[in-house]
Structure 1
């Protein structure tokens, strides 16, 4: 277990390059020169936070320990990469930055298909559940290329899953607050079977962790596995609950504003008539 095993320099380089490119493309001076309104600091911080979370999940000791020794750490890593990080990245991307990518008709068609709520919710949760089937996970863990490919696919479907709620291109995320709340609630339900399989298993499910020699004090194998399922479920509940509250209050404020506008219209008309 060397330093570069624990702190992946390739992932760090990727994060730094992406951060620098984003900084250059969204700099205030560039925005002024192109006649655009500069990005809010909050939006830029959201993107950088997402990059930091990506490195924590993919390039830090969390990734190495979760992959080689502790299933519970692996589940925390999964929660960061698929449930939390995409939200910050999507909130940090302005529509004008991503729109040129989808000028092509084929690219637009693919984006429209994969971000349809039913497709997006089923694709991510199905792939996530299949990944945690013992036969599949054991096979993937034996091949670095297969594991990387599957994780990349999971990451893409995670972004697609969050796109109907936080997508920067509003024509692909133009859903009412009620639809978004139902969507988030459905996500929570669909993720439950994978967590339940892990939490209530009475035997160790995964060969890799059964054969791991943990170089430090840790939980017994079965308890570590059950803790992983519990942590995943708790983090999922916190993330989805927070997003649900955000969507609800935004929807509630919008409804109140619309009601106030409608109630003001008759009085304005009445004033005009009297005049």
Structure 2
């Protein structure tokens, strides 16, 4: 059965598209016309523009295009959506928003203490991994998928936790929590390890875990999150099997695999960038590092 039966609004979310374009327009307006609102401004770079626009277009693709509709039909598409939303959009946003804009935002007297606390590297790892794992507990996910308020609130907090996760390794602001050098590699590997149990449970489960992808009534209720009720009431639907030939178990297992594959690809790219940055820094500062090591050795020998 074609997805077109759900209508243009469900497929392309025109209001979300309009909002995305407005945000991109505001970005260019603020960074080019309203720099006097900020301190120590610099011209926005092509790298920042590309990263921000890419983040917004990707956000629309996963939350406003047919991908979002498909994520309510196939669990594998849900996990694809989650992987891109949580692993790729946040680092692009952090890079895309100029440091002087970030400085203005996070130095607000109400935001600053909370932000500083939640961006502590270890805490950021635990919070994100915990929320991700809790989200994919069957009872939790099924309830969230069938309640618009729960769905919006939990997804917002999960996305914010992803931004906090990426902040220590992506931000360039002085005085903010940052993970440097090879410690970044340990941080990224730690993040990959912490969400592995949730993916493993999904991949190796012996039966379908989620009613919203296997039970017709629960699935129809979940579809109300992305399809107008008036449209659904005019359709005769029994379940997601109308739109796919993939068995529920295979779809579920594929979802867990997709999450890990996308995560490993993104993390692998970040790890490569971090390693080469560290290697280049070591080469550029080799003489200084050697001199410091000699001085430390001499000081140790003198005090021995």
Give the alignment's TM-score, normalised by structure 2: 0.81
| Residue aligning to 2:21 | 16
| Residue aligning to 1:87 | 91
SS at structure 2 position matched to 1:176:
coil
| Residue aligning to 1:268 | none
| 1:264-275 equivalence runs, <5 A | none
**CA–CA separation in structure 1 for the residues paired with 2:142 and 2:37:** 53
SS at structure 2 position matched to 1:26:
helix
Q: What do residues 104-150 of structure 1 show as CA deviations (whole Å, max 9, x unaligned)?
A: 33311111111100110000110000110111111111101101110
Tell me the number of residue pairs that the alignment of Structure 1 and Structure 2 aligns: 263
Match of 1:100 among 101, 104, 122: 104
| Residue aligning to 2:298 | none
Q: Say if 1:93 and 1:168, in contact at 8 Å, map to a contact too.
A: no
| 1:18-167 equivalence runs, <5 A | 18-27=23-32, 36-67=41-72, 69-167=73-171
Deviation at 1:173, TM superposition (A): 3.8
Deviation at 1:10, TM superposition (A): 2.4
| 1:181-196 equivalence runs, <5 A | 181-196=185-200
User: Cα RMSD between the aligned structures?
Assistant: 2.1
- Asked which structure has the greater RCO (Cα within 8 Å, sep 6+), the reply is 2
Matched, 1:238 2:265: yes
Q: Say if 1:166 and 1:173, in contact at 8 Å, map to a contact too.
A: no
Closer, same or farther in 2 for the Cα pair 1:138/1:32, shift >3 Å? Answer: closer
**CA–CA separation in structure 1 for the residues paired with 2:174 and 2:82:** 27
**CA–CA separation in structure 2 for the residues paired with 1:75 and 1:33:** 40
Closer, same or farther in 2 for the Cα pair 1:33/1:110, shift >3 Å? Answer: closer
**CA–CA separation in structure 2 for the residues paired with 1:208 and 1:30:** 46
Closer, same or farther in 2 for the Cα pair 1:40/1:5, shift >3 Å? Answer: same
**CA–CA separation in structure 1 for the residues paired with 2:289 and 2:117:** 36
Q: What do residues 21-49 of structure 1 show as CA deviations (whole Å, max 9, x unaligned)?
A: 1011122x666999843222122111000
Deviation at 1:178, TM superposition (A): 1.8
**CA–CA separation in structure 1 for the residues paired with 2:136 and 2:213:** 13
Closer, same or farther in 2 for the Cα pair 1:31/1:153, shift >3 Å? Answer: closer
Deviation at 1:257, TM superposition (A): 1.4
Give the alignment's TM-score, normalised by structure 1: 0.90
| Residue aligning to 1:273 | none
**CA–CA separation in structure 2 for the residues paired with 1:133 and 1:262:** 49
Deviation at 1:225, TM superposition (A): 0.5
